[in-house]
């Protein structure tokens, strides 16, 4: 049986107090809707259809990369009305899964437990039990414990409000039946809307059994209606990520102060991560990596036994085994360090390859450069790679020594084992095995006196 997934994402989210449509707000650096689409993709459906509304074309334009079909709900007349927008595209023999664009933490395991409940004479409904069911639609059962209908909070009275089993809105249905029920929905309720939940009563009237399953956690099915709920789910998500890493053997100094906003594609043994570390994009960590506090790593490949000290930022970079980075260092895109390279405090590397065993330890900028092995770059060294219009490359040969406070004005080449004297402004290639220096001769002036401050009495 084919699977059609429909994601309802047309809500405005007025309680977010934002001009941004609710489903575009981010959790762990991805929009809420992207989380839901990722879940849907993992189920290998025939189609994923996203129904959008508030924000107009902003949602499909922003997320145009998603492998989905887009359908607009121009009038906001309820969840049933939203699904009506794509009824003609639903296959009669398909199973239809209904998801919500503001429910980002639903697990694949829960959905995989829901889908088998669907058959020619049955549908699957995800429910949960809450101590405080306020705000949720209640699941009404008969004397035989069979689900007979769902009553919304605003339409519930008396004993119905005392029911603790509530509707999550997530359900799976046979496609042909769903199309029939959509055509019979009415809007005679407190909101004047077409509720998708009314499909349950119609199904029961047609002799279709409503089978239920519960999620493993309440947090799985919590929607985001305001920024408080968004912040709550962010922490739930991050603690789950941290727990996964802990079980994989990572030492986290404080799981509550760690954010993984992407994916760790490869993870070595005995990795240690201190507090307030943020990881984004795609990360690879080798054996024995040690990461200090307040470090940001984005799209990086970190080799074995690398030590990253406090307050470093590493983005789109490759760090070879045995390197030592920081503190307060920045590796910008296309920085590539070979084994045993040292990058020290307040050093920035951009679009540069640094070969094995080289050191740039203090207050330097290395950009658009190729640095050989065994090179020592002194404090305050700058590769002057930008002429105001174009970028130019600097090449430093193996074993070179760059004195402190030097400026290498690209394009320029420093030969192997060359020495550049401190304070040099290098504008031409420096030959191998020689000292090159451009500073003027030192002069001392005899009899020179420092100026004396003029006071009021001396005037």
User: Residue 213 maps to which CATH number?
Assistant: 3.90.550.10
CATH of the domain at 408: 2.160.10.10
Inside any domain, residue 458: no
Together in a domain, 199 and 243: no
Same domain as 177, residue 263: no
Residue 450 included in any domain: no
Cis-peptide into 411, omega within 30 deg? yes
Span 93-120, pLDDT tens digits: 999 999 999 999 999 999 999 999 999 9
Query: 135-192, pLDDT tens digit by residue?
Result: 899 999 999 999 999 998 888 888 899 999 999 999 999 999 999 999 999 998 878 8
Residue at 454 is within a domain: no
Residues annotated as catalytic are 362
End residue of a domain, out of 221, 243, 260: 221
Report yes or no on 362 lying in a domain.
yes
Give the pLDDT confidence of 328-358 residue by residue, as tens digits: 999 999 999 999 999 999 999 999 999 999 9
CA–CA separation, 195 and 136 (whole Å): 13
Q: How many CB atoms lie within 10 A of CB 59?
A: 27
For residue 307, being part of any structural domain is answered with yes
Specify if 452 maps to a domain.
no
For the chain, the domain total comes to 2
Mark whether 173 and 287 lie in a shared domain: no
Q: What is the mean pLDDT of the chain?
A: 95
Whether 444 is covered by a domain: the verdict is no
Q: Which of 199, 221, 243 lies at the terminal end of a domain, its last residue?
A: 221
Q: What is the pLDDT of residue 458?
A: 62
Q: Quote the pTM value.
A: 0.88
Domain housing 280: 227-436
């Amino acid at each position: 049986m084919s699977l059609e997934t429909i994601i309802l994402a047309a809500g405005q989210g007025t309680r977010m107090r934002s001009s941004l449509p609710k489903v575009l707000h981010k959790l762990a650096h991805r929009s809420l809707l992207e989380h839901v689409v990722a879940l849907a993709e993992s189920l290998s459906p025939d189609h994923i259809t996203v129904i959008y509304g508030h924000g107009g074309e902003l949602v499909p334009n922003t997320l145009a990369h998603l492998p989905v079909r887009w359908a607009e709900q121009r009038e906001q007349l309820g969840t049933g009305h939203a699904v009506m927008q794509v009824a003609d595209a639903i296959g009669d023999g398909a199973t239809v899964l209904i998801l919500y664009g503001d429910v980002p933490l639903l697990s694949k395991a829960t959905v995989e437990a829901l889908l088998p409940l669907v058959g020619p004479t049955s549908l699957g409904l995800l429910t949960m039990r809450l101590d405080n069911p306020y705000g949720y639609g209640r699941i009404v059962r008969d004397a035989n414990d069979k689900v007979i209908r769902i009553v919304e909070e605003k339409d519930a009275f008396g004993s119905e409000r005392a029911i603790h089993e509530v509707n999550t809105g997530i359900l799976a249905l046979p496609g042909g039946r769903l199309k029939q029920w959509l055509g019979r929905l009415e809007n005679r309720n407190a909101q004047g809307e077409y509720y998708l939940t009314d499909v349950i009563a119609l199904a029961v009237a047609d002799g279709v059994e409503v089978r239920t399953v519960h999620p493993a956690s309440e947090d799985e099915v919590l929607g985001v209606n305001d920024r408080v709920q968004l912040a709550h789910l962010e922490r739930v998500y991050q603690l789950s990520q941290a727990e996964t890493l802990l079980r994989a053997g990572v030492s986290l100094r404080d799981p509550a102060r760690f954010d993984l906003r992407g994916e760790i594609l490869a993870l070595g043994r005995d990795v240690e991560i201190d507090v307030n570390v943020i990881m984004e994009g795609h990360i690879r960590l080798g054996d024995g990596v040690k990461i200090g506090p307040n470090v940001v790593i984005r799209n990086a490949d970190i080799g074995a036994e690398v030590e990253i000290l406090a307050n470093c930022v590493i983005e789109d970079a490759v760090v070879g085994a045995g390197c030592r980075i920081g503190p307060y260092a920045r590796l910008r895109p296309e920085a590539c360090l070979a084994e045993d390279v040292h990058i020290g405090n307040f050093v920035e590397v951009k679009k540069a390859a640094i070969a094995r065993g080289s050191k740039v330890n203090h207050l330097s900028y290395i950009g658009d450069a190729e640095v050989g092995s065994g090179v020592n770059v002194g404090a305050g060294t700058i590769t002057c790679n930008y002429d105001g219009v174009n970028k130019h490359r600097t090449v430093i040969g193996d074993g070179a020594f760059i004195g402190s406070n030097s400026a290498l004005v690209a394009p320029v080449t420093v030969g192997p084992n060359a020495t550049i004297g401190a304070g040099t402004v290098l504008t031409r290639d420096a030959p191998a095995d020689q000292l090159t220096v451009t500073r003027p001769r030192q002069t001392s002036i005899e009899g020179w006196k420092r100026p004396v401050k003029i006071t009021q009495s001396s005037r």
